[in-house]
Amino acid sequence: MKNFSAIILAAGAGTRMKSSLPKVMHALSGKPLIKWVIDAVSSLKPDNIVVVLGHEADKVEEYLAKINVKNLKIVYQKEQLGSAHAVMQVRKVLKSYGGNILVLSGDVPLIEKNTLAFLIKDNQKVNSSVAVLAAEVSDPFGYGRIVKKDGFLEKIVEEKDANILEKRINLINSGIYCFDKNLWKALSKVKPNNVKKEYYITDTIAILKGMGKTASLTVTKNENEVKGINNRLELSQAETLLEYKKIKELFENGVSIIDANNVYISYDAKIGQDSVIYPGVFIGESVIIGKNCVLKGSSYITNSNIGSDSVISYSYINGAIIGKNVKVGPFSHIRPGSVLKDNVKVGNFSETKKAIISKNSKVNHLSYIGDAEIGEDVNIGAGTITCNYDGLNKHKTIIGSRSFVGSNVNFVAPVKVGENVVIAAGSTVTRDVPSGKLAIARARQELKRRIIK
């Protein structure tokens, strides 16, 4: 595939979203619409990606600055006067560029990289001045119609400008094009001769043909990938399409999902063979789950790795690394920075944060383990708390391997407990405990004479 640059149109107000957030910044499966488009284009290694911003440009620009995309440039369309006017704003950046120019919209997130590659190659193969990506749809309302003559692309007519016969056409324009260097000459001839008095990029088709140039048509068989997002309903429908695609992939790879209509699984989740997902599970972005895992109840998992043979029940897990054969829950909260190594158990109503819990250790009931390092084969009794925050700074608790911590123990950090230590129930530990010791840190029980009135 020869060199090309891409223009992504993202200047529209998106009024039908009924939101203060720019349309292209609305999230689909946790990722802004515009990022979906950028990712699809970036995978083809373009020479340049130029994003045209307008409405709430500062919000989109702030996001684009964070994602660090190679060769990305930004231009501005101060007045939203149509798609052709938007592309014209890029002329100062790409005027001397000699490769092909891919034009697409920032609100068409499901476009596949393979489809874009095919469009570009098709344009180069037939040496046309413009290749238009089209799709046959069951309901063409709202889309520009592809008008053909003698089997070839004649023109594109927008919905508001189409006559009765043209509105019956179900071959629609995706809004994605691949132009050669004649793009700029054609754009200079576009006039706002339409109902909305805007400059339409679709008019370049007839203009290029009038210049004796060739216009080609590439048709995708998957109408879903060219669906634009204009309102909240369409955003939800796109989410459903992504979800269906992901679940189908997981079924084919040997994952069991008890009720596919009652789970949420992010597009990028990786789940091993023979794992079982029960109703109510939510798997967000950046999750890797090993083989033979069981996920039960209303568990929420995001940005985490879970090793094979683990069981998660009714728990919230975010930013954690969980080893093999680990049991979490029911009703555990595993917070960022937590590392649960193989064979660990964190039980009901317990919480971990920035804690390393080593092999075979248990935090069974009603405990908080934060800013801590727990050795191997440690038993943490019910109600144990690492008191890690003094009001200004966080401090660490270290508990050595094979130690036993009784119920209702407080560790006032910073504190270090050695190996093979027993901490008596009800103790408040404020000083280090050497290995092999029994520590009792509680007031002596006294019995007083009961006075009965």
Strands 130-136 and 72-76 come out as: unpaired
**Residue 151 above 90 pLDDT?**
no
Say if residues 134 and 219 touch (Cβ distance below 8 Å): yes
Beta-sheet strands, E only, within 150-284: 152-157, 171-179, 215-220, 256-257, 264-265, 270-271, 276-277, 282-283
Residue 245 CA: distances (Å) to CA of 221, 234, 248, 307, 335: 16, 17, 5, 24, 30
Question: Which pLDDT tens digit goes with each residue over 258-282?
Answer: 999 999 999 999 999 999 999 999 9
**Residue 237 above 60 pLDDT?**
yes
**Residue 69 above 60 pLDDT?**
yes
> Which residues lie below 8 Å from residue 35, measured CB to CB, with a gap of 6+?
67
Domain ranges of the chain: 4-226, 253-439
CATH of domain 253-439: 2.160.10.10
Question: Which pLDDT tens digit goes with each residue over 198-235?
Answer: 899 999 999 999 999 989 999 998 999 999 999 999 99
130/218 Cα distance (integer angstroms): 10
CA-based nearest residue to 414, from 434, 437, 392, 390: 390
Band of pLDDT at residue 415, cut at 50, 70 and 90: very high
Please identify which of the residues 26, 55, 333, 365 carries the catalytic annotation: 365
98/364 Cα distance (integer angstroms): 66
Say if residues 284 and 302 touch (Cβ distance below 8 Å): yes
Q: What are phi and psi of 165, to 5 degrees?
A: -65, -40
Strands 215-220 and 130-136 come out as: parallel
Query: Would residue 395 show up in a list of annotated catalytic residues for this protein?
Result: no
Band of pLDDT at residue 1, cut at 50, 70 and 90: low
204/219 Cα distance (integer angstroms): 19
| pLDDT reported for residue 444 | 86
Band of pLDDT at residue 122, cut at 50, 70 and 90: confident
Give the torsion sign (CA, 7, 11, 17, 23): positive
Report the CATH fold assignment for 4-226: Spore Coat Polysaccharide Biosynthesis Protein SpsA; Chain A (3.90.550)
4-226 and 253-439 agree in CATH topology:
no
